[in-house]
Chain A
Amino acid sequence: MGKIKDILSPFTAWGNVVKEPVTIKKPIGREAAPRYRGFHKNDIDTCIGCGTCEVICENEAIDLVPVDGIETKDGDSGLRPMIDYGRCCWCALCVDVCTTGSLTLSNEYTWVSEDPDEFRFIPGVDKKSWDDNEKGWKKPEPNYEFYGKKRVEMPELHAEDRDKSFIEFVTGYSKQQAEEEADRCVECGICTATCPAHMGIPEYIKAIRNDDLEEGLRILYETNPLPEICGRICTHKCEDVCSVGHNGDPISIRWLKRYIADQNPSEKYKEILNAENIENNGKKVAIIGSGPSGLSAAYYLALTGYECTIFEKLPEAGGMMRYGIPEYRLPYDQIDKDINYILSLGVDIKYNVNIGTDITLDKLKKDYDAVFAGTGLHLGRSTRIPGSDHENVYFATDLLREISLGNEIHVSEKIVVIGGGNVAMDITRSLARLQNNKFGKVNVTATSLESEDIMPADREEVVEAREEKAIIDPGWGPTSIEIENGKIKGLHVQKCLSVFDESGRFNPKFDESNTKFFEADMIVESIGQGMDVEYISEEIREQIEFDQRGRIQVNDYFQTGAKWLFIGGDIIQGPDVIHGIANGHKAAIGIDKFINQNG
């Protein structure tokens, strides 16, 4: 019986003959699933050409190529990925790792051609039919990351613990934290161009990952002889352009630099940096000012074998780094660590020497083969509003210098700081500490022209200042200082609508109906600094070119019209440590060239 069944049952299959076939009627061009990994799209305006896609591509299918109409600028390499469909395997790892999220896949999949050389294109630039296709693979959400998006929190002293003293409140990364943070780096190298000193940032971060801090230090010193200092107070323009920062927190490049410098003991520096035997070439260079640019120039000149002498007006070296930045941000021993290493290379320093009065520039010209001047911006700039000539109106730079010198300064109960830069924050927080010590409470208000989102100060500075109970109230333009009975009552301000006009020039607009009054009995102005070039004699000054706004003109190597005189640092670039260091380095190269050419 079973056999009959076995013969008959297969015939049941014929039942299908009357059923409608299941075939897809029009298979060509059938739409793929919404998540399908089809051909590439790239939003070229968002893309920064970081090349992470190229690195992760296991097939070497992606090339970064220059594209017409896309400029190379800070934070954008000007390159865009070109994809070779003779290599691609549509795994979409490039999409998942894309730092900006510009690279996606459409769900189109048909590309047929007789020409094998055709399968190569720049998504977003070469127009394709799928460019506007909204579907396709996107990076999965949420909690799906190929590298850490959150930065490792920097351990800090709690606001209550730090707001009374000037001890350093950022404690620095531990080894594990540093490695974790370094692990987030994607090694794109976009930051290098933005860093004024063009430090090898990806390389030293890699050195941290490899736990090879000596190598890290070597990389640091290639372009920056002040890593301890920069590791603390650098304005870290690199972090602003960090590609990881496009979708997440940028890498804490500054703290990682500090980590390398902190972990290497100063006594081993010479050994690590192979600086034990430097041949003296017998030439002499004078350097005016021991700020970052001066020290940087001295370091690189000393490495090349020059005999350098630094002339410093103040009793200790460091310039603005020591006298413009409060100790809680940059402890003096760390400054000393960097400076002492530079001095140990045979750099001579003469303190309390004021060029122009104690010794003239002309004499330096005679005694030395070249002179580098990095005298910085030490003069405070005034708002010149009514009442700003009152005795209780101070310049921030002056106050900071006095604090650093250890002198007692005037601190009153209610203080207003005008300015929104880092210096303003420094003085605000310094005053807050002094107030706390003196009165047990803080009442300091910082106000700036710029609104909160465009304040030049670092974001964390503002946050930390607030944590220390200082009031930050940005977006106000000072109009006058009210003085009653010879005493300051407060500051009148009006709402600032915009700071820059359409062409980007400084041209603030105010809403005069919206005013405010800050009560105060002491006012500190911190709206910028001016330079003091009195020491340059008229005769030399004639050789130097100035532009209309009185700024000194120099060439690429910071050489002035007077060929033997090189000027760099804040005077040229504005207040910034890392620029100063870069200037010093370049000037050192320029000086080397200049002296070699002159025989």
Chain B
Amino acid sequence: MKDLLERLNTKYNLTDIKYQRDNLVFLTIGKENTIDLVTHLRDYEGFTHFVLLSCVDWIEEGKFQLTYFLNQPERKYDIAIRTMIDRDNAEMVSAHHLWRQITTYQRELREMYGINFPGSPGVDENFILEGWDDIPPMRREFDTKQYSEDTFFPREGRKTHDPASYMKEKLYPTEPTTDKVNKTDE
């Protein structure tokens, strides 16, 4: 594993290398070299099994992290290649020609995050959702609970009480205290 990374390091600019386990390494590479690296790993290093393509929304940094997860079935290595792309007008080079299932992943990411993969077959078709007209739901700024409450008629008539504030109301309504315990939000 280490020697493989050394080999790669001579060719590519790899950063943030982190060994999560002995046979699982996470690394970051620039957007422009990503597909190049993936292709290289597939063709020359035996990473023939494509595990998954995923996206993490780092909204604070304004970035999407795409993770290409590759597996080398012979030597039982895993490499997860991270690449950061801009959140605004997110676009990434399509890799559908490498493995067939990537088409599906790209369709999903297009729908769930709004990342475009130009040239990927059927990338603009509805995949999971049907007639969705809000912001892509997996983006962090989309508030699913709010959306649900606005759309789906929750059953009315429920009311809860916070023990601390209820006790204050009952036992010492006038006395000074700090604010209500805020349990759910951190």
Chain A residues in contact with chain B, CB under 8 A?
49-51, 54-55, 62-66, 72-73, 77-79, 84, 86, 116-117, 120, 187-190, 192-193, 198-200, 202-203, 219, 222-223, 556, 585-586, 589
Whether A188 contacts B163 by the Cβ 8 Å rule is yes
Residue in contact with B176 in the complex, picked from A72, A86, A198, CB distance below 8 Å: A198
Question: Main SS of chain A's interface residues?
Answer: mixed
Whether A193 contacts B174 by the Cβ 8 Å rule is no
Most buried by B among A54, A116, A219: A54
Tell me the chain B residues, 84-141 only, with Cβ under 8 Å from chain A: none
B167 in the interface (beta carbon within 8 A): yes
Whether A189 contacts B162 by the Cβ 8 Å rule is yes
Whether B159 contacts A63 by the Cβ 8 Å rule is yes
Whether B176 contacts A193 by the Cβ 8 Å rule is no
Decide: A585 near B176, CB < 8 A? Known: A55-B183, A63-B160.
yes
Decide: A72 near B178, CB < 8 A? Known: A63-B160, A84-B158.
no
Residue in contact with B178 in the complex, picked from A120, A187, A222, A585, CB distance below 8 Å: A222
Query: Nearest Cβ distance between residue B47 and chain A, in whole angstroms?
Result: 37
B164 in the interface (beta carbon within 8 A): yes
Whether B183 contacts A187 by the Cβ 8 Å rule is yes
Residues from chain A with Cβ under 8 Å of B179 in the complex: 200, 203
Complexed CA–CA distance, A86 and B159 (Å): 14
Residues from chain A with Cβ under 8 Å of B168 in the complex: 192-193, 198
Complexed CA–CA distance, A594 and B7 (Å): 81
Tell me the chain B residues, 151-167 only, with Cβ under 8 Å from chain A: 155, 157-167
B20 in the interface (beta carbon within 8 A): no
Decide: A193 near B171, CB < 8 A? Known: A78-B166, A188-B164.
yes
Complexed CA–CA distance, A435 and B169 (Å): 51
Among residues of A, the one whose C-beta sits closest to the C-beta of B178 is: A200
Residues from chain B with Cβ under 8 Å of A66 in the complex: 161, 166
The 7 A-B residue pairs whose C-beta atoms are closest, nearest first, are A189-B164, A200-B178, A77-B163, A193-B167, A63-B160, A72-B170, A198-B177
Query: Nearest Cβ distance between residue B95 and chain A, in whole angstroms?
Result: 36
Residue in contact with A63 in the complex, picked from B158, B164, B175, B181, CB distance below 8 Å: B158
Most buried by A among B164, B172, B176, B177: B164
Residue in contact with A64 in the complex, picked from B155, B163, B170, CB distance below 8 Å: B163
Among residues of B, the one whose C-beta sits closest to the C-beta of A116 is: B155
> Contact mask B4-33 → A, CB, 8 Å, 1/0?
000000000000000000000000000000
Query: Nearest Cβ distance between residue A212 and chain B, in whole angstroms?
Result: 12
Complexed CA–CA distance, A54 and B160 (Å): 9
Residues from chain A with Cβ under 8 Å of B160 in the complex: 54, 62-65
Complexed CA–CA distance, A88 and B155 (Å): 14
> Contact mask B54-90 → A, CB, 8 Å, 1/0?
0000000000000000000000000000000000000
Query: Nearest Cβ distance between residue B41 and chain A, in whole angstroms?
Result: 39
Among residues of B, the one whose C-beta sits closest to the C-beta of A210 is: B186
Among residues of B, the one whose C-beta sits closest to the C-beta of A219 is: B178
Whether B163 contacts A51 by the Cβ 8 Å rule is yes
Most buried by B among A55, A117, A120, A200: A200
Complexed CA–CA distance, A340 and B181 (Å): 31
Whether B164 contacts A193 by the Cβ 8 Å rule is yes
Query: Nearest Cβ distance between residue B149 and chain A, in whole angstroms?
Result: 11
- The 7 sampled A-B contact pairs (Cβ below 8 Å) are A63-B160, A64-B163, A116-B155, A187-B181, A189-B181, A193-B171, A203-B179
